[in-house]
Chains A and B, each alone.
Chain A
């Protein structure tokens, strides 16, 4: 069953085709990785899928509904959430508040009851806090709950961003380089976490440079080069594909 399908997605920046005619699909429980050299258009592709950029061509279909160029907050309502390559954490808020923010859709009610601190608003806030503390425990961040997010280490911030995204209970989760800048131990933790999320029935889309990580956890790999899809398939097939080797090592090396 296809949950998310990307159909011929493309975008130009000032006449240059940053991404051109990329198609693939993802089902619940799958980890689909998008790989390719720097500048291949991976993050641009993510930005189009998640509604940050408006695609020049093609469609994004989520759960049978055309959601192309839909605003990110509406996509969140439909079960799509993402993390960012350049961390987008709410720096001046506490770690706990960051994760509670992920419960916004469940937590938010009318402003008036928030201003007057009515019982309904208190109950909503309490539920969100309980959920957030549970997630922090799962991700091993519970001891940092009251700290300002900006004071966390890079690896912890990466996990915090994932915790915040998980708070939405997404059906599709886009992770943009979740292991970038993390040490071996942290990478392994993230590896387990992604597998766990996928096992719970979430379709995970992953952009990642750590090839060991990608090969280990992906069920499907899409390879981009110069904005175009050059190969796709399961990890074993992709790693033997000459076009992939060319894209990563350069055409000359592959020919030799």
Chain B
């Protein structure tokens, strides 16, 4: 049986997540792995929004901030379980994305980028300045999720690093699965169509404004869940999670790996999360090499690493 690209992507992803720990020299690598998965989850949302629907956002870290602070605040102030706080954060991000998206998605290209940037900055400012609630720039503690203890009682004892590695890994697989489902569905096809030609998309009956809004809301939920997972595993969060740099990081990861493909986005997240760890041996030249890698990839592999490589492979087959 020939695998569809969707099953192949998911199978490789599951295999990598399951087998990678075999090669981990120390427990620290579980933590790096979990960080890769959390970033990849947010980037998968960017793939949907930017890669398929062609809409650029430079403010998606704002939604990660909402997801993160929901887990920090809701359990303390309203006694909501941290796991439910993840859903609460996702719902809040979805509602905000819907409200903000309606006016700003009328804008195109860099106008949209700047408007979304403004939205991200506003969220980040609220988190920085509402000290009474968020404790400002110094950050705030996040309650324990409590699931690890439940698993331990059930006879599945995992270290903290292992637990978060596998939980974030599962979250990523589910996120990638949903995104791949979307890609070949009516909605996903319509998103890619409006990216190709908005006027043609309209003439075949696609409600372009509504579709863009759907993509914006879905990607906001991805970012929000990613922020929640980050907060819960670090047990501490600062407003930097909602900052401009984090937004740019998401977009950069997506574009580097290949913004048009889920596998590409995940690969980009892995590269840009791991590379700085590897490059620490270069000390002060770390940033220089990182920048050079990004420039070279954009020059020689314009569609991003994964799609460009696949295309080359296919051409060789023919």
Residues on A lying within 8 angstroms of B by beta carbon are: 50-52, 71-73, 75-77, 81-82, 84, 88-93, 97, 100-102, 104-105, 107-109, 111, 114-117, 121, 124-125, 128, 164-165, 167-168
Contacts and interface: CB of A to CB of B under 8 A. Distances in A.
SS class, residues of chain B in contact with chain A: helix
B185 A88 contact: no
Contacts of B205: 73, 76-77, 104-105, 168
Interface stretch (B117-125, B187-195, B275-283): B187-195
B196 interface: yes
Interface stretch (B19-27, B32-40, B206-214, B233-241): B206-214
Interface residues of B, number: 28
Residue among B185, B186, B201 with most chain A CB within 10 A: B186
A168 B178 contact: no
Given A71-B202, A125-B186, 20 more contacts: A72-B202, A72-B203, A76-B202, A82-B203, A88-B197, A90-B192, A90-B193, A91-B196, A92-B196, A93-B193, A102-B204, A104-B189, A104-B190, A107-B186, A108-B187, A114-B182, A114-B185, A115-B182, A165-B203, A168-B205
Contacts of B208: 73
Given A104-B190, A115-B218, A76 B185 contact: no
B199 interface: yes
A248 to B, nearest CB: 30
B204 A116 contact: no
29 contacts: A50-B203, A51-B202, A73-B203, A73-B206, A73-B207, A88-B199, A89-B196, A89-B197, A90-B193, A92-B195, A93-B193, A93-B196, A101-B201, A101-B206, A104-B186, A104-B190, A111-B182, A114-B182, A114-B185, A114-B186, A115-B218, A117-B185, A121-B181, A121-B185, A121-B186, A124-B186, A125-B184, A125-B186, A165-B204
B200 interface: yes
A102 B214 CA distance: 20
B189 A100 contact: yes
B260 to A, nearest CB: 8
Nearest to B179: A115
Contacts of B218: 111, 115
Of the listed residues B189, B195, B214, B218, the one surrounded by the most CB atoms of chain A closer than 10 A to its CB is B189
Q: Which 6 A-B pairs have the closest CB atoms?
A: A76-B205, A114-B185, A90-B196, A88-B200, A72-B202, A117-B181
B306 to A, nearest CB: 15
A249 to B, nearest CB: 34
A114 B181 contact: yes
Q: Which of B178, B197, B201, B203 has the most CB of A within 10 A?
A: B203
Contacts of A168: 204-205
Contacts of A109: 186
A29 B192 CA distance: 34
Contacts of A121: 181, 185-186
Nearest to A75: B203
Given A88-B197, A90-B200, A93-B193, A104 B206 contact: yes
A73 B202 CA distance: 5
Of A101, A108, A124, the most chain B CB neighbours within 10 A belong to A101
B225 to A, nearest CB: 13
Contacts of B207: 73
Contacts of A92: 192, 195-196, 260
B199 A72 contact: yes
Contacts of B187: 108, 111, 114
Interface in B160-184: 178, 181-182, 184
B181 A81 contact: no
Contacts of A167: 204
Contacts of A84: 199-200
Nearest to B208: A73
